Amino acid sequence: MSPSKKGRSNRRRAAVSIRDVARRARVSIATVSRAVNRISTVDPELAKRVWKAVDEVGYVPNTQARALVSGRSRILGLIVSEITNPFFPELVQEFENLAVAQGYEVMIGSTSYDPVRTESLIRRMLQRGVDGVAIMTFGIEEDLVTKLVEREFPLVFVDAGPELPNIRVLKVNYSEGIREAVQHLAALGHRQIAFITGPLRLRSAAARRDAFRKSMGEVGLPVPSRHLIEGNHTMEGGMTAIERLVALPELPTAVLCSNDMTAIGVLHGLYETTHKIPRDISVVGFDDIHLAQFMLPPLTTVQMSCKDLATAAVQALRAGIEPDHPKAAQKEWLIPTRLVVRKSTEFPRGTLPALGKAVSARRGVAREKSPSL
């Protein structure tokens, strides 16, 4: 307590410090520090005494001081494109759970696709002394990244960062899930399949588009440029894109979207134009956000597990931060994707309704987890 000490003006609380523990346990502060940090050179008997004292006085190490002296804050930075896109909160949640369980705190930032914001965000994170940053978006100034890499600052990218050594990358296997989606549609009898991309300056968006093109090629279907529309990964973008498709002389029978939000926008746009889904047109999303199964109709979509993504991100960061991490040398992490069939895909319009009975053809692909109803 020591109320005699005339407190500094602004100081909030005279927290109990390592010195109080030391006094109580009748040891030096060095020993307390070692005991608390579980350093093996301290005698077990003494350590017990220290821990007892810690409990008695209610000691909590001061993170600021610890960070100041050790140069490590135990904070992980996580940068996402847009926190209001429901995929990201799910990711953030998983990431945070994992990080906290492993003794790290998380500092989150959302760029809104704005390079200026991104840069100031990274600066803020560095200033706060984060130990590493996972960048789950793009549109980053290459030279900032280069500078960080030179400092050997731990960075983790999704898909593919700049071509630089010493950064870690989570490679999402887009082809896998998108191929399943295209084959699912092709198997149903679709020939005219459109694709609504994300903002193409995002590598992840371009990668999804490329995977689509490749998969279409594999089943021998053409991709005319009028069926490749650039969106922006938002509902508004999905609406605009579907309006352009609707304006075409012939509406494609199916449309695959670069993410679920786009697909939701498409659903909404088709509602406005009184098209029915999946009767008039089949719609497939990407991400499998929680919301997808609650859409009307429930959305067939390619699942990219944010649990997988978060797990890999945390692991990759720790690999870069902790010198003797078991995976310190690993530079790439692979993230799988897979199709989840729900109700927004069906045989193309004009197909004999009798075929509607042949549902078994679909069940072959369907791998939906037991729905939560």
Question: In b/e form, how buried is each residue of 227-250, taking b as 16+ CB within 10 angstroms?
Answer: bebbbbbbbebbbbbbbebeeeee
Helix axes 18-25, 44-57, angle to 10 degrees: 120
- Compose the 13-32 pattern: x for residues touching DNA by CB under 7 A, - for all others: -xx-xxx------xxxxxx-
Backbone angles phi, psi at 136, to 5 degrees: -100, 40
Q: In which residue are the tokens 């990668």 written?
A: 207
- Mark residue 53 as left, alpha or beta (left: phi above 0; alpha: psi -120 to 50; beta: remaining): alpha
Question: Judged by CB under 7 A, which of 24, 34, 179, 190 binds DNA?
Answer: 34
- Compose the 185-224 pattern: x for residues touching DNA by CB under 7 A, - for all others: ----------------------------------------
- Closer CB to its own copies, residue 58 or residue 217? 58
Check if the beta carbon of residue 200 is closer than 8 Å to that of residue 229: no
Per rule CB under 7 A, is residue 128 in the interface with DNA? no
Question: Judged by CB under 8 A, which of 138, 153, 333, 347 binds its own copies?
Answer: 153
Per rule CB under 8 A, is residue 60 in the interface with its own copies? yes
- Closer CB to DNA, residue 68 or residue 296? 68
Identify which range of 41-49, 137-145, 180-188, 288-296 contacts its own copies by CB under 8 A: 288-296
Between CA 346 and CA 344 the distance in angstroms is 7
Question: Omega before 222 cis (within 30°)?
Answer: no
Question: Omega before 278 cis (within 30°)?
Answer: yes
- Compose the 239-278 pattern: x for residues touching its own copies by CB under 8 A, - for all others: x------------------------xx-xx--xx------
Check if the beta carbon of residue 291 is closer than 8 Å to that of residue 308: no
In the complex, minimum distance from the CB of residue 327 to DNA, in angstroms, rounded to a whole number:
22
Between CA 72 and CA 208 the distance in angstroms is 37
- Binding stretches for DNA (CB under 7 A): 5, 8-10, 14-15, 17-19, 26-31, 33-34, 36-37, 41-43, 45-46, 59-62, 65-66, 68-70
- Binding stretches for its own copies (CB under 8 A): 8, 10-13, 60-65, 67-68, 70-73, 83-84, 86, 88-90, 92-93, 96, 100, 105, 107-110, 124, 126-129, 131, 151-153, 235-236, 239, 264-265, 267-268, 271-272, 290-291, 294-298, 323, 372-373
